[in-house]
Structures are given as C-alpha cells and as structure tokens.
Amino acid sequence: MHRVEELADRAAGDGPEQRIPYRCLVPLEEIIAQALGIGPNTKGVAREYERLITRYGNEFRILLDLPEEDLQRETPSRILQGIMKVRSGDLKIEPGYDGVYGKVRIPLDAKEDNQLGLF
C-alpha cells in the first residue's frame, strides 16, 4: 500500500462535505457576443456590457444572483436567454486539443428581436 493511501482520510472520489459547490460560468461579454452574433471585442458588445453593468451592478451579480424577473426588465431577450442557459448549464462544449482552444457555445433559439445587432 502506498503511504499516501495510508494517510488518506477518505475513500477515493469522496470530497469533504463542507466543500463549496463550484459553478461554471461564461463571461458576460461572450454571452452578449453570441446573442448578437458578433465578436466579443466589438463596440456593440462593449456598449451593451457597460449598459448592463451600470444598470444591475457587477458581472457576477448578473450571471449568478439576480432573479430572471429582474433581468427581464432591461435585458434583450437573446442575452437573457443566454444568461439563463449558462446558469442551468445548458452549453455545448467542444474540447480543445494539441494547442487548439476548446469552444463553448450557448444553444440559443433562432434570432427573435435582435435590434442590438445593428451596433
């Protein structure tokens, strides 16, 4: 038996009960970009990001804490849909390989009211 196994205080795969659960997040700028169908480093994304941050506070509050009903008031529907899909973990993840980054896609419904896409 290995010394590490002798010293282990739990079975393999078990974690401490008091462990804080983890959350997978996608940056708000990436959600906005996918919802608008434009690149994440564009002026349109930056403008919408600043508008949401100014209205609701910080990015973590928007992505994790605010109730959907509060976000509905001033968040375009496709962006709201993206936020809610990230919260629920409804993501399509293409793993990376050999120096190629993986990709995270949010499966959004067909474009409805994308009036921000003109930015």
* pLDDT by residue, tens only, the chain of 119 residues: 577 777 776 665 566 677 777 888 999 999 999 999 999 999 999 999 999 999 999 999 999 999 999 999 999 999 999 999 999 999 999 999 999 999 999 999 876 554 544 44
Q: Which of 1, 56, 64 is CA-nearest to residue 27?
A: 64
Residue 77 domain boundaries: 19-118
Q: What is the pLDDT of residue 10?
A: 62
Q: Residue 3 has what pLDDT?
A: 79
Is residue 11 one of the residues assigned to a domain? no
Q: How many domains does the chain have?
A: 1
Is 2 among the domain residues? no
The reply to whether 36 falls in a domain is yes
Q: Flag whether 3 is in a domain.
A: no
Domain membership of residue 70 (yes or no) is yes
Q: Is residue 5 part of a domain?
A: no
Residue 6 inside a domain? The answer is no
* Residue 46 CB coordination number (10 Å): 14
